[in-house]
Amino acid sequence: MELVLTSANFEKEVLQSDVPVLVDFWATWCGPCRMIAPAVEAIAEEREGTLKVGKVNVDDEGPLAMQFGIQSIPTLLLFKDGKLVDSAVGYRTKEQLDAWLDS
C-alpha cells in the first residue's frame, strides 16, 4: 500500500521508519509519473513488510520537494535508517526499479 507523504508525516513515516522507504516525488500533470505509477504500486504490494512506499505530490508539498532538491519528476528517493541512500530520476520500468532496489 502506498502512503501519501506530507511535511506533517514525513519525519515519522520516512525518517523514523524501521524498514527502508521508497519515496516517489510526482505530480498529476506529469506523463512519466503516470507511466511509472503502476510499477511503483506493484513494488509496494510485492515488498510489503520489507519496504514502505510513499508518494509526495510536488504541487501540494513544494517545500518538501525543495528540501530534497527535486528538479525533475518522477524522482524516487530511497531512505534507510532515516538517511537518503540513493535516488533515481525519470521513468524506469518495473524490472529496472527492482534491479535498482536490489542493488
Which residue in 43, 38, 35, 34 sits closest to 78, CA to CA? Answer: 43
Which one of the listed residues 21, 22, 23, 33 is annotated catalytic? 33
Q: Is 31 a catalytic residue?
A: no
Quote the pLDDT of residue 2.
Answer: 72
Beta strands in 10-80 (DSSP E): 21-26, 52-57, 75-80
Quote the pLDDT of residue 46.
Answer: 96
Which one of the listed residues 14, 21, 22, 30 is annotated catalytic? 30
pLDDT band of residue 95 (cuts 50, 70, 90) is very high
| C-alpha cell recorded at residue 59 | 504541487
* Interstrand relation of 21-26 and 52-57 (parallel, antiparallel or unpaired): parallel
Quote the crossing angle between the two packed helices 31-46 and 94-102, to the nearest 10°: 50
Q: Is 28 a catalytic residue?
A: no
Mean pLDDT rounded to a whole number for the chain: 96
Quote the pLDDT of residue 1.
Answer: 62
Tens digit of pLDDT for each residue in 22-74?
999 999 999 999 999 999 999 999 999 999 999 999 999 999 999 999 999 99
Q: Look up the CATH architecture of domain 2-102.
A: 3-Layer(aba) Sandwich (3.40)
